[in-house]
Each structure stands twice: as C-alpha cells, then as structure tokens.
Chain A
Amino acid sequence: MKTNRHFLFHLYMGLFLAYLLIPLLVMGGAAFNDSKLPTVIPWKGWTDRWFVDLWNDKRIWGAFRNTLLVAVAVAAIAVPVGTAAAILVNSISGRVRSLLYGLMVAPILIPGVVIGISTLLFWNHLSVGSGLHLSVLGQVSYIASFVMLLVLARLQSFDQALEEAALDLGASHGQVMRRILLPHLYPAIGAGAAISFFQSIENFNVTLFTRGGADTLTVYVFSKVRSGITPTINALALLLILVTLGMAIWYEINRRRKERLQLTREAEGRRAEEAMI
C-alpha cells in the first residue's frame, strides 16, 4: 500500500519538476530556432544568428551594464546595512526588539510598486531626480531585510564567550569585530551578497518607477516584448540560465567539499579524545 502511494508522490514530484522546467527549456530552445518570432513551433531550423545578434545589440549590453552596476551597488549597501541591523537587533531584547524586528521584516511584505513610488516621491521632495541611484535606494530598502535575516540566523550559532575571550586577551573592539565576529558571519554575509545581487538583477517593480530614463535588463526586455521582439532575448535568457546554473553547481560542490573537510577534522578530534591524549 505504502509503495503505491509513494509511487504516486514520486510521479507528482516528477510532473511538478517537468512543469517548472519545461517552460524554461522551451524558452531556451527558441534561442536556436531560425524564426523571427520567439517560438519553438514551427521549427524552422537550427541557427545561432540570435546569439550573433545579441552580441551586436548595443542597447542590450547597455541595459545589462546598468543592471550589473545597480546590482553591485545594492549588494555593497545592503550587506553592511543588513549586517549592522542584525547585530543591533540581536543585542537587544524585549519589546524594543520585537518592534525593531517587525520594522526590519516589513519591507519584504510591501509591494514593489509601493516601494518604487514612495522612493520616487521622497527623494523628489529632496530635489533628487529619478535615475538608477533611486533604483538602488529603493531596492536596498527591502533587500537589506533578506541580508538581515540571513545574518541574524547565523548570529544564533555564535558563542559570545569567544568575544569575551578576545577582549580578555587584550583585543580592541575593532579587532574583536574583524578577527572573531565577522569571520563567523562570512557564510551569511556571502549568501547575503549573492542574494542581494540576484534579487537586484531580477527586480522590476521598484526599478520601473525609479529609473528615470535609464534602461535595465528587466525593463528593456519588458518593453521589447510588448513592442516587437526577436529571439535575441531568448539567447540572452539561455545564457543567463546557464550562468546561474553553473554558479549553483559550483556553490554546491564547494559546500560539499567544506562539509567533508569539517567532518574529517571532527572525526580526528573524536579519535584523539578516545585515545585520551
């Protein structure tokens, strides 16, 4: 009985994965179809001209460059801000902590449209015009929340005695931060930077309202789809997917290697313990 039901579940999982991945395959496939409209049917033959066109499309590369600049800026701001917020909230307790924590998590729940418009209006009041800088600020407001959550989770596994030990040995506060706390937080900070980067790249709602005239990848693709599109977009999409996949695999391999190393070390410690040396 159990195995029958389990089979149903395995089937469901398979179907679900297919459901998730087939549209991506279709889209990737359209990058190779020799047809003016992005589609896989009718299939007019293999071609790589869309990749060539992509290479030559100046506007796309301009938009891509803007997207990267914004993403780097967002990561550069959101990571320190989120980390500082996490450290701050972790050292407080009681009602103040709940209040602060709520405020820090709220931006995730605010619709991107609202963030975009509120950012635009606020800085406009201060006579700062729209442009990519506003996109950065708007995106940071909610991306910092992600960083904060990641760092806060990592802080839970930090032994405060390590800070005290360092102080006791004569370290200044700055040295404690640099040599003890931050190294422990690096995994979370790294993850935070990655998340910030990718969240920024794919952001649309906030960017649309704050960008002024500048193009970013998402906005550019959006406008092209409405107005007339060639499979150069598909070529770009395929490249992005492959890069993301590559990085995910690299990350996973790295993670497993580190895990194995840590396990070997701990095993050695246990053997030493048993040998009573």
Chain B
Amino acid sequence: MSAGIDLENVSCDFGTFRAVDHVNVTIQPGEFFSFLGPSGCGKTTILRMISGFTDPSSGAIRIGGKDMAGQRPNQRPTALIFQNLALFPLMPIWENIAFGLEVRGVDRAKRRARAEELLALVDLPDAADKMVSQLSGGQKQRVAIARALAVEPSVMLLDEPLSALDLKLRQHMRAELRAIQKRTGVTFIYITHDQGEALAMSDRVGVMSQGRLQQVASPRDVYNNPANGFVASFVGENNILTGTVQNANAGLASFDTPVGLLRARLGDVSGGGAMKLYVRPEHMTLSATAGAENSVPVTIGEVSFEGSFIAVQGAAANGTILTAELRNDGMASVPATGSQMHISFDANLASILPDSATVKG
C-alpha cells in the first residue's frame, strides 16, 4: 500500500546551476516526512524528481524498492498536490476527484460513489456537483487531497499546500492533514518553508539549504539538537555568539566569547571553519544574582509582551544584546527596564556549532 522512498546520492543540475547536491535519505513507508528550507533550497526540485516531472542528473530514486528511472509521471505510484492546487475548472468537483479513476477505465457509477466517499472523508459532503469557483480556499485544499487519495497512491507529495491560506485556516488544515495521513497510512512527503508546519506535522524533518540536506531528524531533535548553525538559526529563534573553542570534555566545551567564557555542548568541529554558540531565548533565565556558570550581567532594555510569552532584551557590558523569553504564567515580577540582572542558561541546552555541512540521513 504505502511505500518508502530512497534517494541515493541524487543531484540535479540546470545548466551550471546545481539545484540539488548529492542528497541521500531513506523515507519509511507510512511516514510523514517534511523537507524544510528557504526558497531556492532545492526542495521543490526534489519533489518534482520524485513525481517524475524532472529527471535527476545523477543518483537514483527508488519507490517501494523499485528504481524510477525512465518512469513517466503517469506511471509512478505517486500523487502530487500542487501549490496552486491545479483543480480542473471545467469539471464539477466529483469529476475532479474521480479523474484518476476515469483514466483507469472505472465505470461512472463506481467513480461517483468513490468520489462521494472521499468527499465524506475530507468533510465536504455536499460539494459533489459544485464547480471549483464556488468553493473557498480551504475547501479547494480538501478537494485536492481527495483527488490525490482517489488513485490510492503509495506516496503523497505535497508542495507547500498551505502557503496561500490565512493563519487560522492554516492551523486548522495542519491538524486535518495529519489526521488524514494517520487515517490512510499513506507516506506523505511535505515541502515547506514554514518551520512551524514542518515541526508540528512531521515524523521526521529534512532541513535543506542550497541543494544540500543539512540534517534529517525528528522535529524534537532538529529543534533541540541542531546539527549545524544553519539548522539552528532556520528553525526557531536563537541568541548567537561568536567565539573560539577552548577545551572539550565529555561533549561539553568552553567557548571564549566577548561576553565571557561560556560552556555548552560541542557540535561537529571536523569541518573546520568558524564556530558559534547558539542558545534559544526560552532557555534563558533571569535572576538578580549571578549563577554558577554561563551567567552574563546585563542591563535590561526592551521588554515586550507578546501574548503567551514576554520577550526581554538585555544588553551586556560590551553592547551585545541577549534575548530571553519568559513564559506568561501570570507572575508579578517582570523585569524593569534599566535594572541590572543576570541572564544565564544551562550548558546542556546550548550548542556550539559550525555554520553548515553535509549530513547523511
């Protein structure tokens, strides 16, 4: 039913431009896998290669163990949800959904029945005879999903499907998509530039930059243990400090920064090049007195109330701004601007990382 995908050393060149650079990853059957990265990082190209619209310049793509070289898009067990949905405007909704069955020669009565089943699955029971222009954005989304599910694909490919929707709808659809995936058990490959989406929906996330896979891990790991500086800064907020590594011991190292000697987990230094220290604002704590280690004296600057958290900026002696995020748990003591406090963090929650490197999945 659902199949796994192997990308073996896949590269794709457009003339002299290398869009995808030696990507290696194995996606498990039934997994919800996201490719996450900024525009132009190559994730769309990967999707098009898996679906068959673009050929890889080198490397192999296997779906369910079978090599897809030479297989045209209409021969592959994949179904693609396009970014602009590409619903057929001249057909009623049920014909849109049943199209995949129509081209396989299924008779009309069966097609109609299956279309109505799927409409019920995506919670659009009355839409069968409507035309595409009569639906809202969210409804069209669901029709696109139903249309893809109708052909019982082994792999569903989704190209930033939620980017055109507004915030509330996007959050609603995230949950829906995840629910549909769990219900049907089909492998989902999802590409997006929105880290919140990727983290919320996926079993695993592949972070990409400039055609290369930077890290493949569960959302938790990507967030808490980023492999390099790119992943750390692309996913979530960071305080970033430059400096040099002093000594390393049992996975932790000292890092000499302009605001003092700090200790944090040491990432992969083998690539050489500059290292930086990354610590997330929500892992910072504020106290009136200095802590045992990793404690920086700051003057409190901007304090902004952001709803569920409070962002506090503190300026260190040399001018570096550190940001802490305090949970809004109704506590009375919010630091006053201008007061002298200490920002500190646990060494195990911070990382010293190189800027970027290639990673195997």
Instruction: Tell me the complex Cα distance, A276–B133, Å.
Output: 15
Check: B26 CB closer than 8 A to any chain A CB: no
**Residue on A with the closest CB to B84?**
A161
A168 and B80 form a contact (CB under 8 A): yes
A269 and B134 form a contact (CB under 8 A): yes
Check: A262 CB closer than 8 A to any chain B CB: yes
Q: Pick the contact of A276 from B53, B78, B136 — CB < 8 Å?
A: B136
A277 and B103 form a contact (CB under 8 A): no
B138 and A171 form a contact (CB under 8 A): no
A272 and B139 form a contact (CB under 8 A): yes
1/0 per position for B65-91, CB-CB distance to A under 8 A?
A: 000000011110011101010111010
29 A-B contact pairs sorted by A residue (CB < 8 Å) = A159-B84, A161-B82, A161-B86, A162-B86, A162-B88, A164-B86, A165-B80, A165-B86, A165-B88, A166-B99, A166-B103, A168-B52, A168-B74, A168-B79, A169-B74, A169-B79, A169-B99, A169-B148, A169-B151, A170-B75, A171-B99, A172-B103, A179-B88, A262-B133, A265-B131, A269-B133, A269-B135, A276-B136, A277-B136
B-side contacts of A161, CB under 8 Å: 82, 84, 86
B74 and A172 form a contact (CB under 8 A): yes
B109 to chain A, nearest CB (A): 19
Instruction: Tell me the complex Cα distance, A262–B134, Å.
Output: 9
Contact A276/B168 with A169-B100, A169-B147 known, Cβ cut-off 8 Å: yes
**Residue on B with the closest CB to A271?**
B136
A168 and B73 form a contact (CB under 8 A): yes
Q: Pick the contact of A273 from B53, B136, B151 — CB < 8 Å?
A: B136
A236 to chain B, nearest CB (A): 40
1/0 per position for A128-152, CB-CB distance to B under 8 A?
A: 0000000000000000000000000
Knowing that A170-B151, A183-B90, A272-B134 are A-B contacts, what are 6 other residue pairs whose CB atoms are under 8 Å apart, sorted by A's residue number? A166-B103, A168-B51, A169-B151, A171-B99, A179-B102, A269-B135
Interface positions of A from 229 to 271, Cβ below 8 Å from B: 262, 265-266, 268-269
B99 and A272 form a contact (CB under 8 A): no
Check: B301 CB closer than 8 A to any chain A CB: no
Check: B335 CB closer than 8 A to any chain A CB: no
A-side contacts of B269, CB under 8 Å: none
B134 and A268 form a contact (CB under 8 A): yes
**Residue on B with the closest CB to A171?**
B103
Instruction: Tell me the complex Cα distance, A240–B224, Å.
Output: 81
Instruction: Tell me the complex Cα distance, A75–B225, Å.
Output: 69
Check: A49 CB closer than 8 A to any chain B CB: no
Contact A175/B84 with A167-B72, A273-B136, A276-B169 known, Cβ cut-off 8 Å: no
Check: A105 CB closer than 8 A to any chain B CB: no
**Residue on B with the closest CB to A268?**
B134
1/0 per position for A173-199, CB-CB distance to B under 8 A?
A: 001000110011000000000000000
B103 and A170 form a contact (CB under 8 A): yes
Check: B104 CB closer than 8 A to any chain A CB: yes
B-side contacts of A169, CB under 8 Å: 74, 79, 99-100, 103, 147-148, 151
B341 to chain A, nearest CB (A): 44
A-side contacts of B148, CB under 8 Å: 169
**Residue on A with the closest CB to B147?**
A169
B-side contacts of A171, CB under 8 Å: 74, 99, 103
B82 and A164 form a contact (CB under 8 A): yes
Interface positions of B from 185 to 227, Cβ below 8 Å from A: none
**Residue on A with the closest CB to B83?**
A161
B82 and A165 form a contact (CB under 8 A): yes
Instruction: Tell me the complex Cα distance, A161–B104, Å.
Output: 20
A-side contacts of B100, CB under 8 Å: 169-170
Instruction: Tell me the complex Cα distance, A275–B82, Å.
Output: 24
Check: B64 CB closer than 8 A to any chain A CB: no
A273 and B137 form a contact (CB under 8 A): yes
B133 to chain A, nearest CB (A): 4
B96 to chain A, nearest CB (A): 9
A-side contacts of B88, CB under 8 Å: 162, 165-166, 179-180
Instruction: Tell me the complex Cα distance, A165–B96, Å.
Output: 11
Interface positions of B from 35 to 74, Cβ below 8 Å from A: 51-53, 72-74
B-side contacts of A183, CB under 8 Å: 90
A269 and B136 form a contact (CB under 8 A): yes
B164 to chain A, nearest CB (A): 11
A272 and B135 form a contact (CB under 8 A): yes
**Residue on A with the closest CB to B90?**
A183
B-side contacts of A265, CB under 8 Å: 131, 133-134
Instruction: Tell me the complex Cα distance, A166–B98, Å.
Output: 11
Instruction: Tell me the complex Cα distance, A165–B74, Å.
Output: 9
B-side contacts of A274, CB under 8 Å: 136
Instruction: Tell me the complex Cα distance, A164–B133, Å.
Output: 20
Q: Pick the contact of A275 from B99, B136, B147 — CB < 8 Å?
A: B136
A164 and B73 form a contact (CB under 8 A): yes
A170 and B84 form a contact (CB under 8 A): no
